[in-house]
């Protein structure tokens, strides 16, 4: 397993006081907390910070960690010294709420024994995690593996799932008898579609003549293309709705198609000629209202 | 250890009704914590809750534990996060 430099993760000195550690953790947690910062790299950083705090904010764990010395470097292959584990007993419950998100390094050194102890002592408790599914999974239904640190589960993604719903897995929480595991569903970003509830949104590029003259335009949907009727004299940004083409919930959502007019470049003799034609023959002034 | 069979599941959606006792058990909190958040306006329902309240309270709990926010500030933070989400949605809708 890889060594984790917890002091580096919090950006504090090895001699930092408990107060300095708390302060550093709060600042970094505020910056990278996944509820406040939606960036994917922020989530990974928050996990590091949280894990570091879990060890360094606990006197016993920090002492044990410090005994590993200053030799090992962040990311280096690492194995704890013999008998290290016997000297330390980490029965304290974890404080954080991001369950099962810690590194192998943490699990091996600080969590394994505590977990066994907890499982014996603790009452039935429900656990929580988040699961990112793709929009396509929601259309077809799927089975996804999720890794919960100490176990991997095959989770069925039911068709028609939408963000904000919760999948409850019976008996996959902690304690004895085991509680349930609640998986909060969120959608992974999709290159084409944006989801709002069960409705989907897509930007569809169209040519100026399709928008001006009207046309049947091929439009992608998660279940295959459809032909969309663009009415004549369609303005840029106009939204058309394909009813029932959103997420296939019990009552399916709609697909909202926003038309984006894309201009061809005017850098060939032919294109230039056409634009010059339009300039000459069309009485069109888009700034008419701006002129007094 | 990978279990080969798929785990049995229920789907909690917007039609699922949860009681305060359900929420307290699932979130591993005291029922008074939920009442306090209601008193501060972080949630509006009083007896029958939906899965949206469950995820909202779960978020509140994460913010409280991870960032040390007090219950008074949780309602404000949740509202601001809602507004940011809404504005991100609007932005995505209007970007060209």
pLDDT tens, position by position, A196-222: 999 999 999 999 999 999 999 999 999
Selecting from A26, A125, A166 the residue whose C-beta is nearest the C-beta of B67 gives: A26
Residues in chain A with CB shorter than 8 Å from the CB of B54 are 166, 182
pLDDT at A100: 47
Q: pLDDT tier at A79 (50, 70, 90 boundaries)?
A: confident
Interface test with B, best of A146, A165, A179 (most B CBs within 10 A): A165
Pairwise CB contact (< 8 Å): A237 & B66: no
Question: Which comes out higher in pLDDT, residue B91 or A280?
Answer: A280
Residues in chain A with CB shorter than 8 Å from the CB of B11 are 158, 161, 165-168
Question: Which comes out higher in pLDDT, residue A69 or A169?
Answer: A169
Interface pTM, i.e. ipTM: 0.83
CA A31 to each of CA A42, B70, B73: distance values in angstroms, whole numbers, following the listed order? 8, 18, 17
Report the range of poorest mean pLDDT among A69-83, A247-261, B10-24: A69-83
Pairwise CB contact (< 8 Å): A168 & B65: no
Q: How far apart are CA A265 and CA B82, in angstroms?
A: 41
Residues in chain B with CB shorter than 8 Å from the CB of A118 are none
pLDDT at A140: 92
Q: How far apart are CA B79 and CA A118, in angstroms?
A: 36
Q: How far apart are CA A67 and CA B85, in angstroms?
A: 45
Q: How far apart are CA A264 and CA B76, in angstroms?
A: 48
Q: Report residue A90 as tokens.
A: 């980490």
Asked if residues A66 and A12 have their Cβ atoms less than 8 Å apart, the reply is: no
DSSP secondary structure, A86-155, as one string: HH----SPP--SSTT---HHHIIIIIHHHHHHHHHHPPPB-EEEEEEE-HHHHHH-EEEEEE-SS-EEEE
User: Average per-residue pLDDT in chain A?
Assistant: 87
By CA distance, what is A143's nearest residue in B?
A: B6
Asked if residues A60 and A90 have their Cβ atoms less than 8 Å apart, the reply is: yes
Asked if residues A145 and A132 have their Cβ atoms less than 8 Å apart, the reply is: no
Is the pLDDT assigned to residue A122 strictly greater than 50? Answer: yes
Asked if residues A157 and A144 have their Cβ atoms less than 8 Å apart, the reply is: yes
Q: How far apart are CA A147 and CA A167, in angstroms?
A: 15
Asked if residues A152 and A146 have their Cβ atoms less than 8 Å apart, the reply is: yes
Helix (H) or strand (E) holding A181: strand A181-187
Asked if residues A201 and A254 have their Cβ atoms less than 8 Å apart, the reply is: no
Please report where in the chains the tokens 């984006």 appear, as a residue. Answer: A260
Interface test with A, best of B3, B4, B5, B26 (most A CBs within 10 A): B26
pLDDT at A97: 47
Residues in chain A with CB shorter than 8 Å from the CB of B10 are 167-168, 170
Pairwise CB contact (< 8 Å): B9 & A164: no
- pTM to 2 decimals? 0.74
Selecting from B9, B27, B52 the residue whose C-beta is nearest the C-beta of A164 gives: B52
Please report where in the chains the tokens 């309602």 appear, as a residue. Answer: B75
Asked if residues A184 and A130 have their Cβ atoms less than 8 Å apart, the reply is: yes
Three-state DSSP class for B31? helix
Asked if residues B14 and A162 have their Cβ atoms less than 8 Å apart, the reply is: no
- Tell me which residues of chain A have a C-beta less than 8 Å from any C-beta of chain B: 26, 29-30, 33, 35-36, 50, 95-98, 125-126, 128, 143, 145, 151-156, 158, 161-162, 164-172, 180, 182, 184, 194, 196, 201, 203, 236-237, 258, 260
Q: What is the DSSP letter of A77?
A: B
């Amino acid at each position: 397993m890889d060594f984790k430099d917890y002091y580096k993760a919090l950006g504090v000195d090895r001699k930092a006081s408990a107060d300095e550690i708390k302060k550093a953790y709060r600042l970094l947690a505020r910056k990278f907390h996944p509820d406040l910062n939606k960036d994917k790299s922020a989530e990974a950083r928050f996990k590091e910070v949280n894990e570091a705090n879990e060890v360094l904010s606990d006197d016993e764990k920090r002492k044990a960690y410090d005994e590993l010395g200053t030799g090992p470097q962040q990311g280096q292959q690492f194995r704890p010294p013999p008998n290290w584990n016997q000297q330390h007993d980490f029965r304290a419950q974890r404080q954080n709420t991001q369950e099962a998100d810690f590194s192998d390094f943490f699990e091996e050194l600080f969590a394994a024994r505590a977990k066994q102890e907890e499982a014996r002592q603790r009452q039935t408790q429900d656990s929580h995690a988040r699961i990112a599914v793709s929009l396509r999974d929601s259309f077809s239904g799927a089975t996804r593996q999720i890794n919960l640190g100490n176990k991997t589960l095959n989770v069925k993604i039911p068709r028609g799932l939408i963000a904000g719903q919760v999948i409850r897995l019976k008996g996959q929480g902690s304690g004895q008898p085991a509680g349930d595991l609640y998986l909060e569903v969120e959608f992974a970003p999709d290159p084409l579609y944006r989801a709002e509830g069960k409705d989907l949104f897509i930007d569809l590029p169209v040519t100026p003549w399709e928008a001006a003259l009207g046309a049947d335009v091929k439009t992608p949907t998660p279940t295959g293309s459809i032909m969309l009727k663009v009415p004549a004299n369609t303005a840029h940004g106009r939204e058309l709705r394909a009813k029932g083409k959103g997420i296939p919930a019990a009552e399916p959502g709609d697909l909202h198609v926003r038309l984006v007019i894309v201009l061809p470049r005017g850098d060939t003799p032919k294109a230039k000629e056409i634009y010059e034609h339009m300039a000459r023959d069309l009485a069109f002034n888009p700034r008419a209202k701006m002129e007094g | 250890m990978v279990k080969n069979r798929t785990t049995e599941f229920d789907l909690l959606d917007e039609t699922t009704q949860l009681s305060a006792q359900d929420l307290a058990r699932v979130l591993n909190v005291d029922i008074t914590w939920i009442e306090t958040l209601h008193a501060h306006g972080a949630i509006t329902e009083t007896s029958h809750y939906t899965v949206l309240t469950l995820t909202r309270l779960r978020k509140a709990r994460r913010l409280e534990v991870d960032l040390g926010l007090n219950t008074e500030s949780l309602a404000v933070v949740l509202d601001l996060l809602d507004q940011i989400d809404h504005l991100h949605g609007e932005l995505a809708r209007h970007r060209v």
